[in-house]
Amino acid sequence: MNAKKPKKEITYRTTSRRQTFNLGEQLGKRLKGGETILLIGELGSGKTIFAKGLASGLGIKGSTEVTSPSFTLINEYRGRLKLFHIDLYRIKGPEELYDLGLEEIMTPANVVMVEWGEKLGPFSPASAIVVRLSAEGERKRKITISFPKEI
């Protein structure tokens, strides 16, 4: 009988935008390519700040200029690894995802980061790193990262 290896889960609490950015940056530095990161949290929970930090950790110049691609749905950035930043806020259901070309960008050479990652539905890989963010006041954030495997 094969027992599934439990996910490693770590919870952090940040008290500033800089700390949230730094946490994303530390994760970005550890990525090797092929990872999918699902950012899950309400509006204002810090997903975009975390995304900017992750981009910085990947060596993307101008990472503070990283914005949520709410209208374009996908932005592409080049650094140490290629980052595809996807925002599914405006997606109403999984059927709207079929034309995005996700199969082509979810490759071992790329890092894919998805804001509103819970909307990825059937495209969500079992190996995804899940980052749950929640606001605990104006500047405080609770950030729980679930790793399906060691990175």
Q: pLDDT tier at 2 (50, 70, 90 boundaries)?
A: very low
Alpha-carbon torsion (145, 109, 123, 99), positive or negative: positive
Q: What is the band of 14 on the pLDDT scale with cuts at 50, 70, 90?
A: very high
Average pLDDT over residues 106-127: 90
With 0-12 CB in 10 A as exposed, 13-18 as middle and 19+ as buried, what is 138? exposed
Domain count, the chain: 1
Residue 14 belongs to domain with CATH number: 3.40.50.300
pLDDT for res 70: 62
Distance CA 121, CA 126 (A): 11
On whether residue 17 sits in a domain, the answer given is yes
Query: Does residue 114 belong to any structural domain of this protein?
Result: yes
Region of 47 (left: φ > 0; alpha: ψ -120 to 50; beta: rest) is alpha
1 assigned to some structural domain: no
Q: Specify the pLDDT at position 64.
A: 67
Parent domain of 29: 9-147
**CA dist., res. 97 & res. 25, Å (int):** 28
pLDDT in tens, 38-61: 999 998 899 999 999 999 999 998
